[in-house]
């Protein structure tokens, strides 16, 4: 390790100071979500789990944190002009909700196959929805064109310093509440939640091994970490619709590369087993993507025996019919 302070992170990227600024902006606006425990889970694994329930966050996922922080950081002219984003759903709802709270008009580029509940919620918050085909069109290009033509400010779902700093407040709160952990499992799509969480852990729990978790069908993060540069893969087909990202962000990857302990993958079947566990044992609805971190922690075996293990449950937005179909099929 260099002689930099442990919390510094790579030069030129977001820092713990950005996460702390985000925490101040979010105070009294975002829910301070509960940290839940389960004697059953602890007994099964021989470890002490601390589940940060971001499925109970405003709009049903941690994405509210980054979205609100990024819009709150805009100047008056940018706010008046409005914002645009692209998202598989949760970021869209978060931006629409945050825009509504801050009086900023919102346009959202969404895949036409996004879960209906997410599209409806985005419209319900007052967002204008523009659809695209996620397997053939580039959402980035559509978002950028709309930004240019309509004078909107683009707020991407993860590759943005204020977004990732906002996401980091989930880990900040978890560590403030339960103290240092031995391990922390965080799901990984484009890397906003993980990068922000690494900054918070670097300050509050420098010895904590933070593990990123992605779907088996799309291990671009794992490949990128091994290679030392961002690797792009075809859009993965997985039930974890919030982690169908084909590459990590240019703003998130350097932080992840420097600080993450490891990146692991889990199967869709393991996600379903975790969804069932949370519904049955903890009375929680957690969406498939929201179970990534837990599924990896539950599969960690000896690695976590006797350890204090944090798990971020990232979201709970899933159509009830889909939820029933997933947990009902044995
Ligand atoms: C967006 C999202 C993720 C992935 O977050 P990134 O910041 O893109 O890594 C994980 N879980 C849920 C529920 C999400 O909405």
The whole-number average pLDDT for the span 78-96 is 90
As to burial, measured by CB atoms within 10 angstroms (0-12 exposed, 13-18 middle, 19+ buried), residue 277 is buried
Among the listed residues 190, 189, 191, 196, the one whose alpha carbon sits nearest the alpha carbon of residue 171: 196
Q: Which helix (H) or strand (E) holds 91?
A: helix 90-102
Cβ contacts of residue 139 below 8 Å, gap of 6+? 86, 109, 111, 132
pLDDT score, position 2: 44
Residue 78: count of CB within 10 angstroms of its CB = 16
Ligand 1 mean position to 52 CA, how many Å? 14
Q: Catalytic residue at 328?
A: no
pLDDT score, position 138: 87
Atom of ligand 1 at shortest range from CA of 164: 7
Ligand 1 mean position to 115 CA, how many Å? 15
248-298 pLDDT per residue, tens: 999 999 999 999 999 999 999 999 999 999 999 999 999 999 999 999 999
pLDDT score, position 88: 62
What residues form DSSP beta bridges with 313?
53
| DSSP code of residue 291 | G
pTM given for the model? 0.94
Q: Which of 54, 220, 241, 287 is catalytic?
A: 220
The pair of three-digit structure tokens given for residue 13, joined into one six-digit string: 């990227």
Q: Catalytic residue at 224?
A: no
Give me the chain's average pLDDT, please.
94
Residue keyed to tokens 């319900």 = 124
- 93 in Cβ contact with 68 (< 8 Å): no
The answer to whether domain 63-154 has CATH 3.40.50.1100 is: yes
pLDDT score, position 66: 98
pLDDT score, position 1: 42
For residue 76, give Cα distances in angstroms to 81, 82, 143: 9, 10, 21
CA distance 287 to 299: 18
The pair of three-digit structure tokens given for residue 256, joined into one six-digit string: 């992840």
4-33 pLDDT per residue, tens: 455 678 999 999 999 999 999 999 999 999
**16-62+160-328: CATH, from 3.40.190.10, 2.160.10.10, 3.40.50.1370, 3.40.50.1100:** 3.40.50.1100
pLDDT score, position 5: 54
Torsion of CA 108, 110, 114, 117, to 10 degrees: 20
| pLDDT of residue 87 exceeding 90 | no
Residue 235: count of CB within 10 angstroms of its CB = 14
| pLDDT of residue 117 exceeding 60 | yes
| pLDDT of residue 300 exceeding 60 | yes
The whole-number average pLDDT for the span 73-93 is 91
| pLDDT of residue 157 exceeding 90 | yes
pLDDT score, position 134: 80
| pLDDT of residue 233 exceeding 80 | yes
181 lines ligand 1 (CB under 6 A): no
pLDDT score, position 188: 97
Could you tell me the pLDDT band of residue 3, with boundaries at 50, 70 and 90?
A: very low
C-alpha atoms less than 13 angstroms from C-alpha of 7 in its C-beta half-sphere? 15
CA distance 235 to 244: 6
pLDDT score, position 204: 97
Residue keyed to tokens 């991407």 = 156
Residue 38: count of CB within 10 angstroms of its CB = 17
Q: Catalytic residue at 63?
A: yes
CA distance 147 to 85: 9
User: Which pairs count as long-range contacts for 70-74, CB under 8 Å and 24+ apart, including other chains?
Assistant: 70/155, 70/160, 70/162, 70/163, 70/166, 71/95, 71/98, 71/99, 71/102, 71/104, 71/155, 72/25, 72/98, 72/102, 73/25, 73/162, 74/104, 74/153
240 lines ligand 1 (CB under 6 A): no
119-142 pLDDT per residue, tens: 888 899 999 999 888 888 888 899
Q: Catalytic residue at 314?
A: yes
β-strands 35-36, 48-53: how paired?
antiparallel
CA distance 307 to 48: 6
189 lines ligand 1 (CB under 6 A): yes
The whole-number average pLDDT for the span 139-153 is 91
Q: Catalytic residue at 218?
A: yes
More confident residue, 246 or 207: 207
| φ, ψ (nearest 5 deg) of residue 90 | -65, -35
| DSSP code of residue 61 | B
As to burial, measured by CB atoms within 10 angstroms (0-12 exposed, 13-18 middle, 19+ buried), residue 144 is middle
Residue keyed to tokens 């409806």 = 120
The most distant pair of C-alpha atoms in the chain lies apart, rounded to whole Å, by 57
Atom of ligand 1 at shortest range from CA of 193: 7
More confident residue, 274 or 330: 274
More confident residue, 329 or 226: 226
pLDDT score, position 161: 98
Domain boundaries, the chain: 16-62+160-328, 63-154
The pair of three-digit structure tokens given for residue 184, joined into one six-digit string: 């922390």
């Amino acid at each position: 390790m260099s002689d930099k302070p442990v919390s510094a992170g790579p030069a030129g990227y977001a820092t713990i100071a950005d996460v702390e600024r985000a925490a101040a902006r979010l105070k009294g606006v975002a829910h301070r979500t509960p940290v839940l425990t389960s004697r059953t889970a602890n007994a099964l694994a021989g470890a002490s789990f601390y589940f940060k329930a971001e499925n109970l966050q405003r709009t049903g996922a941690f994405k509210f944190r980054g979205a609100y922080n990024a819009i709150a950081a805009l100047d008056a002219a940018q706010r008046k002009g409005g914002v645009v984003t692209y998202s598989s759903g949760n970021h869209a709802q978060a931006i629409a909700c945050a825009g509504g709270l801050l009086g900023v008009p919102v346009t959202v580029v969404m895949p036409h196959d996004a879960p209906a509940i997410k599209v409806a919620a985005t419209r319900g918050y007052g967002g204008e929805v523009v659809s695209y085909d996620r397997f053939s069109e580039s959402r980035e290009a559509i978002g950028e064109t709309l930004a240019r033509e309509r004078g909107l400010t683009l707020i991407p779902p993860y590759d943005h310093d204020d977004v990732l700093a906002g996401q980091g407040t989930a880990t900040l709160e978890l560590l403030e509440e339960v103290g240092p952990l031995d391990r922390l499992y965080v799901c990984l799509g484009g890397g906003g939640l993980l990068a922000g969480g690494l900054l918070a852990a670097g300050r509050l729990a420098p010895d904590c091994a933070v593990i990123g978790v992605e779907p088996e069908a799309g291990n671009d993060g794992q490949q990128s970490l091994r290679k030392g540069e961002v690797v792009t893969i075809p859009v993965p087909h997985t039930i974890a619709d919030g982690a169908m990202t084909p590459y990590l962000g240019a703003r998130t990857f350097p932080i992840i590369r420097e600080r993450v302990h490891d990146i692991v993958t889990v199967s869709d079947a393991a996600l379903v087993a975790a969804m069932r566990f949370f519904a049955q044992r903890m009375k929680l609805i957690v969406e498939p993507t929201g179970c990534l971190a837990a599924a990896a922690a539950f599969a960690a075996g000896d690695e976590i025996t006797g350890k204090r293990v944090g798990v971020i449950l990232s979201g709970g937005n899933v159509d009830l019919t889909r939820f029933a179909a997933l947990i009902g099929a044995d």
